[in-house]
């Protein structure tokens, strides 16, 4: 059976979708500030923006409880913020400053905030899938009503942990929702050129994980299907959601993406999830002035976080070996 395409209903909760819109604006503003930090040499490593993919983070995380758990990818700023992470410690983490989520030692690709259930971004493609399965198994063993959501890209489905993690979830009936952000590219290669068969949904269904597909740039469609799938997963029925989207920037902030045409990118900007959300909200009676004010507030918030993080001191050098192993500072452990 082919997976169904989710379609939005007619009775919309305007307040909920205003919050989703606010989340998308905050993610976009954060990513734009993060890109600027490269130009100013505040970040010397890679930044992987999620510009164009904000509706997936906002729509899925908007259906989670604070104690639910997420696992993310190298493109994880948006997921963290949508789950409740604050921009200032995340910006400090990018800049390697004191007060970052990981004390300034993790950087962009290793954001984690256990207080909000964000168990970590991951720089290794697909590695978070098995970690998510482990977290979901721990929840099942210890009881409770929490659910795990694991975000990954379409390139990850060609790596071993995809099969291993989904198989484990299916065998043990784990409370987990796998979310494939299908943006069409595995780094700089079109995923379709390297993927045999009909794709991620078919692979999930082949091992017994029900799969749904959705327009990942439609916040209403994402939110509605996510709400349903999260509750199914919460009851111990692992689920897969394939959200079709598009990466409007290159793979990294410095990638000029010569592997695709400008006409292609320009056409996809017409499907910008934030613009689509704004149009929907205006049709529901939200004023343009209110939406403009929301956008300006997001920009101002991230500008303040940026300036504060830039002016934050570097971490104390004595902390360099802290947190590198679970028994503490390796210098204090006799061998």
Is the model's pLDDT at 333 over the cut of 90?
no
* CB crowding 75-110: b at 16 or more within 10 Å, else e: bbbbbbbbbebbbbbbbbbbbbbebbbbbbbbbbbb
Q: What is the pLDDT of residues 8-62, one digit of tens each?
A: 445 889 999 999 999 999 999 999 999 999 999 999 899 999 999 999 999 999 9
pLDDT at position 328 over 90: no
- Could you tell me the domains of the chain? 14-306 (3.40.50.970)
Average pLDDT, the chain: 94
pLDDT in tens, 284-306: 999 999 999 999 999 999 999 99
- Summarised one tens digit per residue, pLDDT across range 205-260 is 999 999 999 999 999 999 999 999 999 999 999 999 999 999 999 999 999 999 99
pLDDT at 334 over 70: no
Who has greater pLDDT, 331 or 262? 262
pLDDT 10s digits, 184-199 = 999 999 999 999 999 9
Position 321 pLDDT exceeds 90: no
Segment among 5-9, 40-44, 65-69, 181-185 with least mean pLDDT: 5-9
């Amino acid at each position: 059976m082919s997976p169904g395409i989710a379609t939005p209903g007619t009775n919309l909760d305007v307040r909920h979708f205003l919050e989703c819109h606010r989340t998308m604006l905050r993610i976009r503003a954060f990513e734009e500030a993060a890109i600027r930090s490269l130009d100013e040499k505040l970040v010397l490593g890679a930044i992987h923006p999620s510009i164009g993919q904000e509706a997936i983070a906002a729509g899925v995380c908007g259906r989670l409880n604070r104690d639910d758990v997420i696992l993310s990818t190298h493109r994880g700023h948006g997921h963290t913020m949508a789950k409740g992470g604050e921009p200032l410690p995340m910006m400090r983490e990018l800049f390697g400053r004191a007060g970052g989520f990981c004390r300034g030692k993790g950087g962009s690709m290793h954001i984690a905030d256990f207080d909000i259930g964000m168990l970590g971004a991951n720089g290794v493609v697909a590695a978070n899938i098995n970690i998510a399965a482990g977290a979901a198994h721990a929840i099942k063993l210890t009881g409770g009503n929490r659910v795990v959501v694991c975000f990954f890209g379409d390139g990850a489905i060609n790596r071993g942990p995809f099969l291993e993690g989904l198989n484990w979830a299916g065998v043990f009936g784990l409370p987990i929702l796998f979310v494939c952000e299908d943006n069409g590219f595995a780094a700089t290669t079109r995923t379709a050129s390297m993927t045999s068969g009909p794709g991620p949904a078919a692979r999930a269904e082949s091992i017994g994980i029900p799969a749904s597909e959705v327009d990942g740039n439609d916040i209403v469609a994402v939110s509605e299907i996510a709400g349903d799938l999260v509750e199914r997963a919460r009851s111990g029925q692992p689920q897969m959601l394939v959200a079709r989207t598009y990466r409007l920037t290159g793979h990294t902030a410095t990638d000029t993406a010569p592997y695709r045409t400008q006409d292609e990118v320009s056409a996809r900007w017409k499907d910008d999830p934030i613009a689509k959300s704004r149009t929907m909200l205006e049709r529901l009676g939200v004023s343009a002035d209110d939406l403009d004010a929301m956008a300006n507030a997001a920009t101002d918030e991230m500008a303040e976080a940026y300036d504060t993080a830039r002016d934050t001191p570097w971490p104390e050098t004595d902390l360099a070996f802290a947190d590198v192993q679970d028994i503490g500072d390796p210098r204090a452990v006799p061998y």
